[in-house]
Amino acid sequence: MEITYNYFDNSDAHLPPGFRFHPTDEELITYYLLKKVLDCNFTGRAIAEVDLNKCEPWELPAKAKMGEKEWYFFSLRDRKYPTGLRTNRATEAGYWKATGKDREIYSSKTCALVGMKKTLVFYRGRAPKGEKSNWVMHEYRLEGKFAYQYLSRSSKVFYIYHIHAHSYFIRHFSSV
């Protein structure tokens, strides 16, 4: 019996057994998000692009490029009001609610602020009576010297989202 291995190769879509996409917060900001903001045609091999306001959390695993328990996505910022600054985080079935305070992400080389990380939890229904779920999302945005106001005016405001849920929730509610 002949055994073949798939090695990581830019020309080959297959990944080696055991491959996991597990970037640091800094790598998400400085490598993936910055490249996407500077070139909206940039595609990360492991990060799909979706409109998070048109997808429920339990639909996202099927839209991801890879991942079994956690998934990464690029998404354009959607404003709640056309002339306002508030971000729209509502879906048809519920909404993403921020929890805790935003965390700063610094460059390990220069110690400069490069981004921010916000944690959000999905609630089914409408505020303020929504029912908390086990779906958690981390929102990464550029900040400091990489802040959107310092980039080209033609740059679109993309964020990276890291989404996961407890395994009990995935098994029992993924078909909802």
Read off the pLDDT of residues 7-31 as tens digits, 9 standing for 90 and up.
333 334 566 777 788 999 999 999 9
pLDDT tens readout for residues 52-101:
989 999 999 999 998 888 999 999 876 665 665 667 788 999 999 999 99
Asked if residue 110 belongs to a domain, the reply is yes
> Is residue 155 included in any domain, yes or no?
yes
Cα(172)–Cα(176) distance, rounded to whole angstroms?
9
pTM for the structure as a whole:
0.81
Number of domains in the chain: 1
**Quick check: 159 and 141 in contact, CB under 8 A?**
yes
**Ramachandran assignment for 156, one of left (phi > 0), alpha (psi -120 to 50 degrees), beta (any other):** beta
Query: 163 and 170 in contact (C-beta within 8 Å)?
Result: no
Does a structural domain hold residue 79? yes
DSSP class of 127: T
* pLDDT over threshold 60, residue 5: no
Categorize the per-residue pLDDT at 156 as very low, low, confident or very high, splitting at 50, 70 and 90: confident
Contact in structure between 101 and 113 (CB atoms under 8 Å): no
The answer as to whether 9 is a domain residue is no
Burial string for 58-82 (b: 16+ CB within 10 Å, else e) reads: bebbeebbebeebbbbbbeeeeeee
Instruction: Return the CATH number at 132.
Output: 2.170.150.80
Q: Give the sheet arrangement for strand 70-76, strand by strand.
A: 48-49, 70-76, 158-165, 131-142, 113-124, 94-106
Domain that holds residue 35: 26-173
| 137, 162 Cβ separation under 8 angstroms | yes
In a domain, 19, yes or no: no
Residue 90 within a domain: yes
**pLDDT of 40-51, one tens digit each?**
899 988 999 999
